[in-house]
Amino acid sequence: MLTESMQQALNDQLNAELYSSYLYLSMAAHFQSADLAGMAHWMELQAQEELLHVKKYYDYINDRHGRVLLGAVKGPKTEWDSPLQVFTEALEHEKLVTSLINGLVDLAGSQKDHSTHNFLQWFVAEQVEEEATVAGIVGQLKIIKDNPGALFMVDRELTKRVVAPAI
Ligand code: FEO
């Protein structure tokens, strides 16, 4: 059985993952409007992946006989100045998510909730990958600066992202 505070913290994280999906879908819509189809595709898959994270929290809370309580999801930003700004903010967001997950791990440890601690380890590993992937794209965009030809190449490269395997 989850403690009340752990249940609340897991529900908060479920909400944060939903917001992540919403934010990335907003970034995808921004890229669609800018005719950057590869970046839009990448963000659409990112949004989809975040929904898988939501489902993991949903299933886990239910498996522990807790109660999933869905709250309001805040509206994401809708406009950005450049692809570099979008991906930089995506990286900042992933760092925030990492810190939230670390906080959950700390809480599980302090409550000696070994099941939740174990459940969260998947997310700890996932965040390393998420941050590294986005940081790689930010790095490329910093190198190409305002070169349209290079931006076209990066955009085309990002069309190759495929759906993550089921988790
Ligand atoms: Fe669900 Fe991108 O962290």
Q: What is the CATH number of the domain that holds 38?
A: 1.20.1260.10
165, part of any domain: no
Q: Is the CB–ligand 1 distance for residue 20 below 6 Å?
A: yes
Q: Is residue 163 included in any domain, yes or no?
A: no
Look at residue 108 and tell me whether its pLDDT is greater than 90: yes
Please give the Cα distance from 107 to 28 (Å, whole number). Answer: 34
Count: domains in the chain: 1
| Average pLDDT for 110-121 | 98
Centroid of ligand 1 to alpha carbon of 66 (angstroms)? 22
- Does the beta carbon of 17 sit less than 6 angstroms from any atom of ligand 1? yes
What's the pLDDT band for 146 if we cut at 50, 70, 90? confident
Q: Is residue 153 part of a domain?
A: yes
pLDDT class for 87, splitting at 50, 70, 90? Answer: very high
166 assigned to some structural domain: no
Q: What is the dihedral of CA 65, 73, 97, 36, to 10 degrees?
A: 130
- Decide if 164 is inside a domain: no
Q: Is residue 167 part of a domain?
A: no
For ligand 1, say whether the CB of 44 is within 6 Å of any of its atoms: no
Strands (E), the chain: none
Give the model's pLDDT for residue 62. Answer: 98
Q: What is the mean pLDDT of residues 127-152?
A: 95
Residue with tokens 């349209």: 148
